[in-house]
Amino acid sequence: MSLKIRIPNPLIIINVLDILLAASIFLIPLAPVRFILGLPLLLFFPGYTLVQALFVNRKEIGALETIGISGAMSIAVTGMTGFMLNYTKWGIRFEPAMGFIGGFVLAASVVALVRQAVSSDGVKWFTELIINQPAWKIPSNKGMGFLALTVTLLVSIVAVAYAAVDLKAKETFTEFYVLGLNGKADDYPTAFTMESGNVTRVSYTDGNETGGQWGKVYLNIVNHESSTAVYSIYISVDGQPAEFIYGGTPNYQLGNIQLRQGEKWEGEIGFTPEHIGNTQKVDFLLFKDGGTDPEASLNLWISAIAPTP
């Protein structure tokens, strides 16, 4: 006895779920809920859509094999995404990872549908799901192998889910990093030309030069403390508190930066040395919730030189 159910093409279902899950993940601030909702998007959807894109005529691959291969490929795609994000300004963070993987799912689905459209069978917008009454028989060696693979993958997914949720629940930290002139992880101010005690030109690591008194960087703060936090920023140059400019206003302290869990702040900061000298250390100090010890610190090395005659 079997039951036949007519359902839309699984690729359509997955893309609808992809969009709904992504929306839910970004709208729900609770870390455990976001990770649970994101598990299918991380550990099944990428591999399934990739299988569909690579194997159009896959009559020799059954449903059990498809699930096993999809899980393995999803883990590979997720790992490769994390590896690539590590070399970008976003870093390995939950939001960009979900965005990139969601985009991969959509792209792979489009490729799969296009390949199906040009194949001899064409696109099947609806398919029949046949549910057979279970029969008590010993599976073949092939079936047992793929069953073992599927069970292993399911256990791995549960373990990863538990570890991710448990880690996120315990791990709290604040991201604090500095970007250069063009908002990238390079092109930092390195040499200041001073005349009569005033800076007239600033040179950057990529060879760019700008006129004016201030060397410019972008400071970034991201709150991963699981609660709202208030931050303050101080700058010192060559061991002395230094005036800096933010929003066109000179400051010795930039305070009251209030961020909720997962919220990010970015600000363009201009700083300048007070005297001529080589290898002067610029410290960017981040304080949290009125603490007396820095939560994090960053530093750059600069030189202040006299103009060449």
In contact, 254 and 233? CB cutoff 8 Å:
yes
- Is residue 11 within 8 A of residue 38, CB to CB? The reply is no
Entry pTM: 0.50
Determine the pLDDT at residue 51: 84
**C-alpha–C-alpha distance, residues 172 and 71, integer Å:** 30
Residue 107 CB partners (closer than 8 Å, separation 6+): none
CA distance 28 to 241: 41
DSSP characters for the chain? -EEEEEEE-HHHHHHHHHHHHHHHHHH---HHHHHHHHHHHHHTHHHHHHHHHH-SS-TTS-HHHHHHHHHHHHHHHHHHHHHHHTTSSS-S-HHHHHHHHHHHHHHHHHHHHHHHHHSSS---SEEEEEEEPP---PPPHHHHHHHHHHHHHHHHHHHHHHHHHHHHHH--EEEEEEE-TTSSS---EEEEEEETTEEEEEEETTS-EEESS-EEEEEEEEEESSS-EEEEEEEEETTEE--EEETTEEES-EEEEEE-TT-EEEEEEEE--SS-EEEEEEEEEEEETT-SS-SEEEEEEEEEEPPP-
Structure tokens at 2: 């079997």
pLDDT in tens, the chain (309 residues): 555 666 677 788 888 877 877 777 667 655 666 666 677 777 788 888 888 888 776 655 666 677 777 777 888 888 888 778 777 766 667 677 778 888 888 888 888 888 878 776 666 766 665 555 555 455 555 555 555 555 655 555 555 555 554 545 456 899 999 999 888 888 899 999 999 889 999 999 988 899 888 999 999 999 988 889 999 999 999 999 999 999 989 999 998 999 998 899 999 999 999 999 999 999 999 999 999 999 999 999 999 999 876
Q: What pLDDT shows up at residue 238?
A: 93
Cα distance between residue 172 and residue 165, in whole Å: 13
Question: Cα dihedral angle (2, 5, 6, 8), rounded to 10 degrees?
Answer: -120
* pLDDT score at 277: 93
Record the tokens describing residue 298, joined without a space.
């960053």
pLDDT at 167 (0 to 100): 47
Radius of gyration of the chain (CA): 27
Structure tokens at 265: 């702040």
In the block, residue with structure tokens 């020799």: 60
Query: Rounded to whole angstroms, how far apart are CA atoms 291 and 263?
Result: 20
Contacts 24+ apart (CB under 8 A), 80-87: none
- Structure tokens that stand for 178 in this block: 């500095």
Question: Which amino acid type is present at position 190?
Answer: T
